Amino acid sequence: MAYVAVQGGQEAIKESNELLEYMRSKSRKTIDVLDIKESLSDLVFQVMSEASLYDEDLAALAIKQARGSMEEAVFLLRAHRSTLPRLYYSTITEPSKMEVKRRISASFKDIPMGQFLGMANDFKQRFLNFDLVDEDEKKLEEIAKKYEKREIIEKDVDFSNLTKVVDYLEEVGLIKRKENDDRTPDDITKKAISFPSSRSERLQSLTRGQTGAVISLGYAEIRGFGIGSHPNIGELRVGDMDITVNISGEEDDDYYIGQIEVTEVESFVSTSVKEEDKFIKTFEIGYGLCFGQNESKAIAMSILDHALECKNEDNYAPTGDDEFVLLHIDSVESQGFISHLKLPHYVTFQSLLDGMRKIKGEKNEK
């Protein structure tokens, strides 16, 4: 595509950038990166997830630089990630070993070792809290101390070793796991997705997809723009997972480098399989996992994972089309293409006008 050179562009761009910086600082008040990290943690986790980089400090910095624009913050952080060297790959991490902070099931009232509501907005009334307008550090200190002094009821539960609900279904013969796929996962940060995609490519793309887009397409799948599955949340977990790397290459020589907070969802979808000339009811699993406590995204991710894994080849549906889903949920790719429409398209548009004038002139001559 050709563009026409514009004289004086550099000066105009400089003025535009200076105006942007002025609008960020004209109030003479600053927001500390630490304040963003601590007070806007959900936003920080969303940016880290979509940027594929787990660094709370850098995500908070990107949010500050972008003046709160989600798309711009993700773009900044993903651009920074592209400059970093890939030193190691983490070893296989078992989510069943996460230090659980919240654990619920919508499929069973009673699950092994119990449900733990933890922290969630699910039980709050959606009314604006005007007390927050004049909130100060003294008030925050009172709230924190009141909670820290509460009476704690100790429970004999190992929160780093909770039985999975899916294990129960497998034990009673209601679900049959697929064999482990031990092939090296495809890395979409090193190689572009190819279609048809592998499941490892799909899960990577879904976990870093734009949150709103993933949720919207998950909703579309339930409404019938796919196989029309309506899953039951077998188990939703929020917690911290240990991350290790193997530096020496020797077996059992893993090196602990820290923890990441994640949300994990396993959805159960009822289906029928044919065995010995008859159909038997069973369940299939949709899986979702993303950084931080982002439950709606993880649930929607599990819905799309199942829709893409179990799509009907004879009946096209948008949410079963991996190219349609995976390319359109990427916030950087979609934002980049939409934003490029602001760039000069003088040559192409003038060509279009010339063609329209020519056609119009020929009609007038007739």
pLDDT at 277: 75
Tens of pLDDT, residues 129-156: 888 888 888 888 888 888 888 877 667 7
Q: How far apart are CA 338 and CA 212, in angstroms?
A: 16
Q: Give the residue with greater pLDDT, 262 vs 18.
A: 262
pLDDT at 231: 86
Tens of pLDDT, residues 159-205: 888 888 888 888 877 777 777 777 888 888 888 888 899 999 999 99
β-strands 254-275, 99-104 pairing:
unpaired
Of the ranges 62-66, 174-178, 222-226, the best mean pLDDT one: 62-66
pLDDT at 341: 85
pLDDT at 3: 43
Average of per-residue pLDDT across 35-42 = 91
Tens of pLDDT, residues 322-352: 999 999 999 888 888 888 888 888 888 888 8
Laid out side by side, the sheet with 232-246 consists of 99-104, 232-246, 254-275, 278-291
pLDDT(309) > 70: yes
Q: How far apart are CA 272 and CA 78, in angstroms?
A: 42
Q: How far apart are CA 223 and CA 234, in angstroms?
A: 20
pLDDT(47) > 70: yes
Widest pairwise Cα distance in the chain: 91
Confidence of residue 218 (pLDDT cuts 50, 70, 90): very high
pLDDT over 90, % of the chain: 36
β-strands 254-275, 278-291 pairing:
antiparallel
pLDDT(5) > 60: no
pLDDT over 70, % of the chain: 95
Token digits of residue 48? 């880290």
pLDDT(63) > 90: yes
Confidence of residue 75 (pLDDT cuts 50, 70, 90): very high
Tens of pLDDT, residues 268-283: 988 777 677 777 777 8
Average of per-residue pLDDT across 73-94 = 91
Q: How far apart are CA 81 and CA 58, in angstroms?
A: 10
- Number of helices (H), then strands (E), belonging to the chain: the values are 13, 4
Domain boundaries, the chain: 9-81, 95-329
Token digits of residue 251? 């077996």
- Cα-based distances in Å from 86 to 52, 53, 216: 13, 12, 33
What DSSP character marks residue 116? B
pTM beyond cutoff 0.85? yes
SS in 3 state form for 13-58?
HHHHHHHHHHHHHCCCCCCCHHHHHHHCHHHHHHHHHHHCCCCHHH
What DSSP character marks residue 192? -
pLDDT(2) > 50: no
pLDDT at 365: 67
pLDDT(8) > 70: no
